[in-house]
Amino acid sequence: MADNQSVLSVSIVTPDGRVYENDGELLVIKTKLGQLGIMPNHVPVISSLEVDEVRVKHDGEEDEIAVNGGFLEFSDNVATIVADSAERQDDIDVGRAESARDRAQAAIKKAQEAHDDDTLARAEVALRRAINRINVANH
């Protein structure tokens, strides 16, 4: 890579430990306010994250990581993402994600029939997480 002024250091950590660490030229992430692209020397940012993919472009390649909420802190060309959970594209078990999607869809149907708003909200989050994992795995 070029000099340190043209490189981002990206780290993704969860309660279980570090999931990802690499340098890159561009970080693309979905915050609660919308999609954000961060390049070297971007202004400092702190933001809550949506359940979505994180993309890190480096050396002509792109890494994709499924992130399930959390927050981003960026300053001095260092991006730290603290996520509730996260999985690298190559680590996602698609079969398990599809089973989670099916369970969430069944839970949504059952909660709608029972008019159980709390269970419905939890099932909808589980569905978003499962779909996110499936989408990242299939890119």
Based on the fold, state whether residues 49 and 69 are members of the same structural domain.
yes
Based on the fold, state whether residues 99 and 73 are members of the same structural domain.
no
Domain, as residue range, for 15: 4-89
Cα angle for residues 24, 67, 11 (degrees, 5° grid): 35
Tell me the pLDDT band of 2, cut-offs 50, 70 and 90: very low
Phi, psi of 16, rounded to the nearest 5 degrees = -90, -5
Based on the fold, state whether residues 118 and 76 are members of the same structural domain.
no
Number of domains in the chain: 2
Q: What is the pLDDT of residues 83-131, one digit of tens each?
A: 989 999 999 999 999 999 999 999 999 999 999 999 999 999 999 999 9
Based on the fold, state whether residues 39 and 104 are members of the same structural domain.
no
Instruction: Give the end of a domain, one of 89, 106, 121.
Output: 89
> Considering just the CA atoms, what is the radius of gyration of the chain in Å?
17
Based on the fold, state whether residues 65 and 84 are members of the same structural domain.
yes
